[in-house]
């Protein structure tokens, strides 16, 4: 009879010992661009032939930037992946991201995503047409509805996007002092497209 109690006691101790495992250490999550909020964002796109050069600078508070610096590689990877997904989701011509990388400006507490957007500009003889749905939709913007300011060098807007002060510049070829205005030719734009003509 005693052995029965001893056996139950030993089995019970082994069961308790199995439950008392040391706690697992969970690594800190990789900071993602959407998990933290920038203080300001500055977006610039420049056309060179049929390639668009994209740059988005995000200015961060000291605490947020400190967290970002603790995992630069993870932050860079997440930022590039999110932007690539946005271009793929919102593009209309099979646009894609090429040569993407992220720079860290420790003095200015900013991150800068740089890349090329390929497939967004089409060319027929000297006429160019570019789509910017990939840029505008994720920001909730529209060239006409949001009153982008046209100039001889392109389009510009500043305001709030998700309560973040934001500026967007689209730099385009200067053609005979023509201003990039809605529905005009030989240079002009509509809600999410821009066109220009370069004569030889």
Does the residue 28 lie in any domain?
no
Does the residue 109 lie in any domain?
yes
Q: How far apart are alpha carbons 136 and 56 in whole angstroms?
A: 13
Task: For helices 62-70 and 72-90, give the axis angle rounded to 10 degrees.
Answer: 100
Number of domains in the chain: 1
Does the residue 13 lie in any domain?
no
Containing structural domain, residue 147? 40-197
Does the residue 91 lie in any domain?
yes
Tell whether omega for the bond before 186 is within 30 degrees of 0, i.e. cis. yes
Does the residue 122 lie in any domain?
yes
**pLDDT, tens digit (0-9, with 9 covering 90-100), for 110-160:** 999 999 999 999 999 999 999 999 999 999 999 999 999 999 999 999 999
Does the residue 25 lie in any domain?
no
**pLDDT, tens digit (0-9, with 9 covering 90-100), for 14-46:** 444 444 444 444 444 555 555 688 999 999 999
Residues facing 111 on adjacent strands: 58, 104
Residue 199's pLDDT band (cuts 50, 70, 90): confident
Length of the chain: 200
């Amino acid at each position: 009879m005693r052995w029965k109690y001893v056996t139950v006691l030993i089995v019970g101790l082994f069961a308790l010992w199995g439950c008392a495992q040391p706690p697992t250490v969970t690594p800190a999550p990789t900071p993602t661009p959407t998990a933290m909020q920038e203080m300001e964002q500055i977006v610039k796109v420049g056309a060179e032939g049929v390639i668009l050069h994209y740059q988005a600078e995000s200015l961060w508070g000291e605490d947020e930037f400190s967290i970002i610096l603790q995992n630069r590689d993870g932050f860079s990877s997440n930022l590039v992946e999110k932007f690539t997904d946005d271009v793929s989701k919102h593009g209309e011509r099979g646009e894609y991201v090429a040569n993407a990388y992220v720079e860290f400006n420790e003095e200015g507490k900013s991150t800068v995503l740089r890349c090329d957007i390929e497939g967004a500009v089409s060319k027929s003889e000297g006429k160019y047409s570019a789509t910017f749905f990939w840029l505008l939709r994720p920001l909730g913007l529209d060239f006409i509805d949001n009153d982008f300011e046209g100039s001889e060098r392109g389009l510009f807007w500043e305001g709030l996007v998700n309560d973040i002060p934001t500026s967007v510049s689209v730099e385009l070829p200067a053609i005979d002092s023509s201003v990039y205005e809605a529905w005009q030719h030989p240079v002009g734009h509509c809600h999410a497209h821009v066109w220009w003509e370069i004569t030889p």
